[in-house]
Each structure stands twice: as structure tokens, then as C-alpha cells.
Amino acid sequence: MNLPLVITVQSDGATNLDRPAPVCFPNLPDPITGIKPGPGEKSALWSFNHDAGQWEIVGHMTVTAYGNFVKSDAGVGIRQPGWHGAQPGSSATGGDIFNGAPMLSADALGDVANQKPFDLNALPNRRSRKDFDPSYEPEQNGCGAKGGAKYPDVVAGVSFKESCNTHDTGYGTYSPWPQPNEKPIGHKASVDSTFYIDLQAAVNDALQAGVIDQQQYPGVLSAALAYYVGVNVEGGDAYQQGQLDASVWITDQGVLTFEQLKQRSNTPIIEITPAPQNIAQESHAIAVASQVSSLSSNSVSQDLQIQRFVQHFLIEDVFDGNVLLRGKSTGNGLLTNSVILPPKHQIRVSVYQPNSASIGTVGFSSKWNGETRLIPGIYIGPDQGTDTDTDTDTLSDESEAIVGTDPNNPDTDNDGVTDGAELKNGTDPLSGIAAATGIVGKAETGGDCRDVAAVNDVLAAACGAEGLQLLGVR
């Protein structure tokens, strides 16, 4: 990162402040773009975490009314001595890496998706569509259900359309599905309850504005109650469809929507005759169990162990194609402790694991200025792009893009060993080539070091009372 101004706060021994200290910086143009945030715009307070060896977001800041300063928001401030600065941006952390990527067969999932009745839990590997397609928005149909106007948008001059559209958005907003034996409550019930509150507010606002009078009020309020009862009792199918529209599934043919899965059925649509009311639930459970067990053993992977091996990763900005960060995972299953991202951009993370020649990718949308989000879990599986190996070094062009090696040169660092062989042997195919940036390693010194010097593979650190310490660099 390139902060326009960095300040340092020093102490005579304290390592943390007992409360966040508010801070105000001059509002300076970005050193790269030259753009200066305008009055009222949000920015972020950044502090250098000396324990982790990296810059981290502390919280929100706001540009003052005249645009001359940027001040920390209420409750946000400097928490410890060290380096601090202000600049727009967001961050992300996490990114568990799972092996045996659940690259479920899209054809097999298509079979399940086409069966009736359909159980929400019959399709594993469901993710939020918004994480992969930030442009996705739930469909709004007003108060009339699809295919007909069962409930009018306006009753006696009172418009319920905005409330109904908000309800549609709630149904079409991703929420984890209830697991077997759980009651289908929670998200739907919350959306329906909010809907009734919105409907009541619309009626009360209309009364205050003179749109309706006291005599009309009870009848219109009864209509609002009827709308609520309608969606609460009869809205199960609409809620399920909204949740299906808001979801995607990770498969061996990529990330697919529910409609795309339905197009990949290998077998004719199976109609299951509904059982009588008193045994419908048991019969349905048996049907679903039969559907899932019919999937081939190659369709579903049960091995979702978090990977502890070193992974190579690439973080890209989908909007402009820029590489934001390329490096190696921490080795404990986490992609990275923290990464700086542009706010509200679509981000793609790709991972390559050399020892198993596995590859995976995940997409998500970064947060607003001053906010941090958790990177979704990344499922890796066998590299399917090995047919595209331009330089025949056993690394696909896609995996070379992740690692940073040259897809047109089998030996990027010209040391006599091919890139693929180096990765499998645990050596660096980019030796002598600047690839990683920032903090690439750290070691305990036992004290505060004031100066360092490096010669060949030895680093000398002057650490005050601890004296001179020598460290080997590999």
C-alpha cells in the first residue's frame, strides 16, 4: 500500500492503549491516482501490526465537511503505539483451503434438481450467488404473485408495493437452509414478520397523510393482515424459489445456478406422487435419501479436510484484471492473515497446491471502506487444465498464472530445472526473480532490534541489551 502520510506513535513501554485514541489526518490526494476524497466520504484508518508484520484496518474514518481533514469515526482510533495512516480501502482475511474439492457431478446434481418434490438439502455445495455475481439482485414482483395479481399493489389509495418488493428481496436473499429435522423457521419467519410491520406502517402513514380516514382505516389494516397471512401460510414455494435463485452450486463444470443444474439432467424428470398428509414427511425423507444415495461414488467427495500444506495463491481484481497479491499460504489451512483490497470490487482468489497438483478458485465482493470480510472457503481438486501446458513443464498455464512462472518458458529462472519439477521438489521456480513482496518471513529475536544488516545468507540484528543476533536466511 502507499499511504499519503504515515505518523508514528511512541511510548516508553506500553504496548496497547486502554481505549481507542481518536485521530485526525490532513485529507491528502492518493499518491497514485491523485484523487482526494470529498466531504462526507468514507476512508479507513490503518495501523501496522508489529506482531503480525502487516498493515491492518482499524475502522472507519470520514472526511470533514470542508474536505480538509479525515477524522476517525466514533469508537474508532489508534489502539497501540506504532505506524498509522489514513487511506480508502478494505481488507479480507481467512480463506480455509479444503482438499478433495466437492467437485460434484453437475449431471448428477441435475438429476436431483429435476425431481419432485424437491428437498432443499439434496444439493450440497450451495453458496451465495451474490458472492460470485455482485450484480445479482432478487426479482421484485410487487404484491401480485408471478402469473397473476392475487393481491393488488394499491388498496383504497394505500400503496403496498414498496413493502411487497422489500419482502421479495428478503425471500431472494441467501440464507442457510434448515438441516434435516429442523423446523423451517428463521429467515422466512423474520422476513414475513418484517413484512407485516412494513404493511402496518404504510397504512398508518396513509392515515396521517389523509389518504384514508378513520372509517377506512380498519378495512385497509385488515387487508394488510390478509397480505401477511397469505405469504406466511402460502409463501413456502415462493420462498424456496427465491432461495434457489439466490444460490449457486460448485460442480465439476464450474459454478452453476439452479436453472443451469436443471438443464444438466442425465435422466428423465422423475415425478413422485405426494403421499397422504399424515405420512408425507416420512415418504418425502425416504425419497430424498434414495435420490442422494443414487449418486455415483465419484459424484460427491466426503474428504473435506482443511489443507495444511503450503499453497500458492493469486488474488485478482475482476473489474480491471489487476493482480492484487501473489504469494504462498500460511501453511495452516488459511490463505492469508490479511490482504488489502479496493472497496466494493469483485475479487477472485485462485489456489494451486503443488504436492497434489490441485487447483481451486473462489469469488467474492470486497467490503466498503474501513471494513474487513472473511474470504469464503476454497475447495481444491485435480487440475483439469493440464491439456493446456504451452511450455510442457507439467504445469498447466492456469497454475503457472497462479504461481507467477512463465507459461512460455519451462524453466522460468533458468537454473536447469523445470518449473514443474521445482514445485514438486519444494524448491523455488522463481529463484532470483522478484515475485513476493512485503513481509516474506519473520523470526523471534528475544528483544527490540534497532538495526539490521544482511550479507549472503546471514542477517545480523542489533538488539539492544540482547546484543548482536545472527540469523540464517533461507
Give the pLDDT score at 77: 94
Q: pLDDT at residue 458 above 80?
A: no
CA distance 172 to 59: 30
- Domain ranges across the chain: 6-88, 106-293, 304-382, 387-442, 443-474
**Per-residue cell: 320:** 480491471
Give the pLDDT score at 330: 63
Looking at the whole model, is its pTM more than 0.75?
no
CA distance 147 to 423: 58
Q: pLDDT at residue 336 above 70?
A: no
Count of alpha carbons within 13 angstroms of residue 89, beta-carbon side: 21
Q: Which residue has the higher pLDDT, 403 or 253?
A: 403
Give the pLDDT score at 298: 37
**Per-residue cell: 98:** 479444503
In order of 419, 439, 455, 458, 468, the CA distances from 451 in angstroms are 36, 17, 14, 14, 10
Strands ordered across the beta sheet of 312-317: 323-328, 312-317, 346-353, 358-365, 381-382
- Which amino acid type is present at position 2? N
Contact 273, 284 (CB under 8 A): no
**Per-residue cell: 451:** 538495526
Contact 246, 138 (CB under 8 A): yes
Q: pLDDT at residue 472 above 50?
A: yes
Q: Which residue has the higher pLDDT, 154 or 105?
A: 154
Give the pLDDT score at 282: 38
Q: What is the dihedral of CA 167, 169, 173, 178, to 10 degrees?
A: 20
- Percent above pLDDT 90 for the chain: 20
145 secondary structure, DSSP code: P
Distance of CA 320 to the CA centre of its chain: 19
CA distance 320 to 233: 46
CA distance 291 to 268: 13
Q: Which residue has the higher pLDDT, 301 or 318?
A: 318
Q: Which residue has the higher pLDDT, 184 or 253?
A: 253
Give the pLDDT score at 280: 40
CA distance 343 to 376: 17
466 secondary structure, DSSP code: G
pLDDT tens, position by position, 348-377: 888 888 888 888 877 777 888 888 877 766
